[in-house]
Amino acid sequence: MALFKAEKKAPKGPAGLWDVVIGEDMCKACGFCLSVCPTDVFAYRTTANRLGWFPMYVAHEENCVGCNLCYQICPDFCIDVAPKDSAGAALAGPPGRR
Amino acid sequence: MNRLAAKYLRPSQIPTKACHGCGIGMIENWLLQAIDELGLKQEDVIFGTGIGCVGRQTFATWGGDNFGATHGRALAVATGLKLAQPHKKYLIVVGDGDAASIGTSHLVHAARRNLGVTVICEDNMGYESTGGQFSPTTPAGYVTNSSPYGMVEPGFDPCDVVQAAGATFVAETTATQWHQTVKIVKKALQNDGFSFVHVRFPCNENFGAYALGTRDTLKNLEWIYEHTQGRKTDGSESDFTWQTGIRHDASNSKPEFTSLLRSMNAKVRAKMAEEAKGR
Amino acid sequence: MATTVRIPVKDGLVAPWMDWERRCPDGRRLLEAGTYALTEGAIAAGCRVFAGYPITPATDIAEYMSRRLPQVNGYYMQCEDELAGMHACAGASLGGLKAMTATSGPGYTLMHDAYGWALTNEIPLVVVDAMRVGPISGITGAPGQGEFYVARYCTHGGNFETIVLSPSSVQEAFWLTIDAFNLSERFRTPVTILTDQVVSDMWEDLFIPGDYDALDFVVPRKHNLMMPFYPVGTAEIDVPPNLIGQGTGVCVSAYTHTEEGYDIEEMEAQWAQTYRLVNKVRHHRGELTRYEAMGLEDADVIAVAYGANARTVKTGVLEARRQGLRAGFVRPITLWPFIDELFERDAHYVVCELNYDGQLVREVQRAAPDKTKVHFMGKSAELHTVAEVVAGLEGVARRGRLPELPYIWTQVR
Nearest residue of B to residue A28, measured between CA atoms: B20
CA distance C125 to chain B (A): 12
Q: Are C190 and C127 in contact (CB under 8 A)?
A: yes
Could you tell me how many CB contacts below 8 A there are between chain A and chain B? 100
Chain C's closest residue to B273, CA to CA, is C71
Collapsed DSSP state (helix, strand, coil) of residue C49: strand
Contact residues on chain A for B218, CB-CB shorter than 8 A: 4, 31-32, 35
What pLDDT, on a 0 to 100 scale, did the predictor assign at position A92?
41
Q: Which chains touch C (3 or more CB pairs under 8 A)?
A: B
**Residue B97 sits in which domain range?**
3-253
**Which is nearest to B25 in space by CA: B41, B35, B36, B14?**
B14
Distance to chain C for B151, nearest Cα, Å: 30
Residue C5 pLDDT exceeds 90 = no
Hey, which residues 76-95 in chain A have their CB within 8 Å of chain B? 76-80, 82, 88, 90-91, 93-95
Q: Which of C252, C257, C260, C263 to mutate to test the interface with B (most CBs of B within 10 A)?
A: C252
Asked whether residue B274 is domain-assigned, the answer is no
Query: Which chain B residue has the Cα nearest residue A79?
Result: B2
- pLDDT lower than 50: segments of chain B: none
Inter-chain residue contact B70 with C114, CB threshold 8 Å = yes
Q: Which H or E run contains B274?
A: helix B257-278
Question: At C403, is the pLDDT very low, low, confident or very high (cuts 50, 70, 90)?
Answer: very high
For residue B139, give the amino acid letter.
P
B11 falls within a domain: yes
Q: Is residue B278 part of a domain?
A: no
Of B70, B81, B268, which has the smallest distance from its Cβ to C113's Cβ?
B70
The number of distinct structural domains making up chain B is 1
Write out the H or E segment, with its range, that includes residue B156.
Answer: none
pLDDT of residue C2: 60
What's the pLDDT score for residue A4? 87
3-state SS class at A5: coil
Q: Chain C, 255-274: which have a CB under 8 Å from a chain B CB?
A: 255, 261-263
In angstroms, the CA B145 to CA B141 distance is 13
8 Å CB contact of A98 and B178: no
The three-class DSSP label of residue C47 is coil
Q: Where are the alpha helices (DSSP H) in C7-166?
A: 20-23, 34-44, 59-71, 82-94, 105-108, 112-120, 148-152
Q: What is the ipTM of this complex?
A: 0.95
- B52: domain CATH number is 3.40.50.970
For the cut 90, the answer to whether the pLDDT of residue A85 exceeds it is no
Question: Tens of pLDDT along A24-43?
Answer: 999 999 999 999 999 999 99
| A91/chain B closest Cα distance in angstroms | 6
Optimal mutation site among C83, C87, C93, C225, interface B, most CBs of chain B within 10 A:
C87
CB contact under 8 A, A26 and B14: yes
Q: Is residue B275 part of a domain?
A: no
Within-domain flag for B266: no
Residue B179's CB is within 10 A of a number of other CB atoms, namely: 12
pLDDT digits (tens, 9 = 90+) for C39-91: 999 999 999 999 999 999 999 999 999 999 999 999 999 999 999 999 999 99
- One-letter amino acid identity for B152? V
Q: Which domains does chain C have, with CATH numbers?
A: 12-214 (3.40.50.970), 291-399 (3.40.50.920)
- Tell me how far apart the alpha carbons of residues B230 and B235 are, in angstroms, rounded to a whole number: 9
Q: Quote the CA–CA distance of B90 and B47 in Å, as a whole number.
A: 6
| pTM (two decimals) | 0.95
Tell me if B271 is assigned to some domain: no
Mean of pLDDT over chain B: 96
Indicate whether C277 pLDDT > 50. yes
Is 90 exceeded by the pLDDT of residue C141?
Answer: no
